[in-house]
Structure 1
Amino acid sequence: MLEWVLVSSTLLNASSVTAAGNVDPKVCKATVYLTFDTGSQSQAQLVANTLRQHHIKASFFLANEKTINGDYSLDPNWATYWKSLANEGHAFGTHTFDHVYAVKDLADGRIVVKPQFGAQAGKELIWTPQQYCEELRRVDERFLQLTGHKLDPLWRAPGGKLTPNLLKAGESCGYRHVAWAPAGFSGDELSSEKFSNPVLLKRVLDHLRDGDIFMAHLGIWSRKQAWMPENLEPLITGLEQKGYCFATLREHPAYRK
């Protein structure tokens, strides 16, 4: 079960490009922040192509996750993909290198964690805040190697689980944590038998508000009917028709430099 952390919403108008049907900035009524976490990467190219078509900039949170190609999302095979997105002006944050879940805090300030990938996948480990910082920075180092760009000083806890010790650890090494609005949860990792794509799309379109952060994955292993192919384009066009614009987290009031 995901633990949602609501990020405060503040009014922000951002310009958008009209060539692909986006709302003219003069009539921009609200701003939504699209964010995408790595995953199986089955929808990675679809996301990139759709954002380009609509001239939208989004924010990506990266971990080194196993992909449908049998490699990992921060392997050199993915350098061209990430570099092209970086050159187009999207924002990027760390999602921990090995997609490390927080289990619980300890009284002495340390954190019990469980990596999903890497040499110690599936094991419960006890980390100091400094060790967690090093895990966040591993993504920054790899991203620089792959793209020539540094990450933005942002991070997102895998599974959305954020503990007090975890938050302090991220802040101590210069990363601001980014969650998502309850209305901004795409539901792409929920059971497609229980939560159909039309139901999930309607929920988001009905409830997203100005300043909300939306979250989806670049591919989910567990969902039988993928969320992205059916819902991403209708989500964007539906919000555009309501007068919504889009921006990266660099423009969000809580995360602007």
Structure 2
Amino acid sequence: MLLTLAMPAMAGAVCERPVYLTFDTGHMGVAPLIAEVLQRQQVRVTFFAAHEKTREGDGSLGEHWAAWWRARAKEGHEFASHTYDHAYWRGDQPEGGFRIRPSSGPQSGQDLRWHAEEYCANLHKASDRLQQLTGQAPLPLFRAPGGKHSPALLKAAQACGYRHVGWADAGFLGDELPSDKYPNARLLAQALERIRPGDILMAHLGIWSRQDPWAPAVLEPLIQGLKRKGLCFATLREHPAYRAWVQDHPLSAQNRP
């Protein structure tokens, strides 16, 4: 069954100056706290998910986190692929295909050669698992790990049903940066100054390398500050650059090219 439930306070609301908050997976250590903030602030977001190593449990798309993903679906959030193995594009192959280095899964850290079909299979694997976990068809969108891609990779992904989603320059919220050089107060002030309507924002559900976690310390004051500036929050299903693609390319095994 396809769930399209909205948060209660969002029912009937019209978002006229939207920003699009997105989260990629990570170690999931702050995922419960992020969920509490989103629920308290009545904000819907889009999650890009890979099956990444986590601080506890069997990976970000494992059974340990299944209830967490189901709860987010009931709250009206959206979901999309981040490749199942968090597979970084490293370059195009002269004879076709791509150089890939997964950071998760059994081939983590290895330099691989994937054909377009293999890359698409990894996109599909994350989408299929998300649908299993949430009972909701994911969006026909993806985010390449690190935002790294090429025209050839984007063409291959589009041929198997996916449009790529990056982020605005101002939407890079900085949770991957070292906290000694980029403390939370600086990242918050910078985001509040720079973010504009229409921007896609990007953060993570946990970053291993950051000593002073960005979330939830920055997340709630950021949401509150943007609201005070007259901005509101929407999912990528509603983004004007992706709305038609999402509508015309329902993502399921039956509809795959």
TM-score by shorter chain over 0.5: yes
Aligned to 2:65: 78
- 1:245 equivalenced with 2:232 (yes/no): yes
Q: Which residue of 2 aligns with 1:48?
A: 35
2:89 to 80, 102, 117: 102
Deviation at 1:146, TM superposition (A): 2.0
| Residue 229 of structure 1: how far off its partner (Å) | 2.4
Provide the rounded CA distance (Å) in 1 between the counterparts of 2:147 and 2:202: 10
Secondary structure, aligned partner of 2:216: helix
CA gap 1:234/1:171 in 2 versus in 1, 3 angstroms: same
Is the counterpart of residue 63 in structure 1 residue 21 in structure 2?
no
What's the offset of the Cα at 1:106?
1.5
Residue 88 of structure 1 and its aligned partner are, at CA, apart by 1.7
Distance (whole Å) between structure 2 residues aligned to residue 138 and residue 159 of structure 1: 19
Match 2:200 to one of 213, 218, 224: 213
Superposed CA deviations along residues 221-243 of structure 1, whole A, max 9, x for unmatched, are 00000011210011000000001
Conservation of the 8 A alpha-carbon contact between 2:7 and 2:76: no
Q: Note the C-alpha offset of 1:107.
A: 2.2
Which is further off, 141-150 or 178-187?
A: 141-150
CA positional deviation for 1:31: 0.9
What is the aligned-residue RMSD (CA, Å)? Answer: 1.9
Assess if the C-alpha contact under 8 Å between 2:34 and 2:216 holds in 1.
Answer: no
| Matching of residue 234 in structure 1 with residue 227 in structure 2 | no
8 Å CA contact retained: 1:44, 1:218? yes
| Residue 142 (structure 2) pairs with residue 155 (structure 1) | yes
d(CA) in 2 for partners of 1:247 and 1:30?
A: 9
The 10-residue stretch of structure 1 (69-78 or 52-61) with the greater mean CA deviation from structure 2 = 69-78
- Verify: 1:192 aligned to 2:179, yes or no: yes
User: Among the aligned pairs, what percent are the same residue?
Assistant: 52
State the AA in 2 paired with 1:75: G
Matched, 1:174 2:161: yes
Q: Which has the higher contact order (CA 8 A, sep 6+)?
A: 1
- 1:30·1:244 contact (CA, 8 Å) conserved in 2? yes
CA contact (8 A) 1:189 1:222 kept: yes
| Residues 17 and 244 of structure 1, relative CA distance in 2, 3 Å threshold | farther
Equivalent position of 1:13 in the other structure: none
- 1:116 counterpart residue number: 103
Give CA-to-partner distance per residue, 1:171-215, whole Å, 9 cap, x none: 011011000001000110101111111111111110111100000
Query: How many Å separate the matches in 2 of 1:50 and 1:144?
Result: 24
Matched residue count: 238
Matching residue of 1:223 = 210
1:29·1:243 contact (CA, 8 Å) conserved in 2?
no
Matched, 1:125 2:112: yes
Asked if 2 retains the 8 angstrom alpha-carbon contact of 1:105 and 1:164, the reply is no
Q: CA distance change for structure 1 residues 25 and 102 in 2, over 3 Å: closer, same or farther?
A: same
Amino acid at match of 2:145: P
Q: In the aligned structure 2, how far is the partner of 1:83 from the partner of 1:218? A: 16
Measure how far apart 1:108 and its partner are.
Answer: 2.5
Report if aligned partners of 1:112, 1:125 keep a CA contact under 8 Å in 2.
Answer: yes
SS of residue matched to 1:42: coil
Of stretches 104-113 and 93-102 in structure 1, the one that deviates more from structure 2 is 104-113
Q: Which runs of 5+ in 1 are unaligned?
A: 1-15
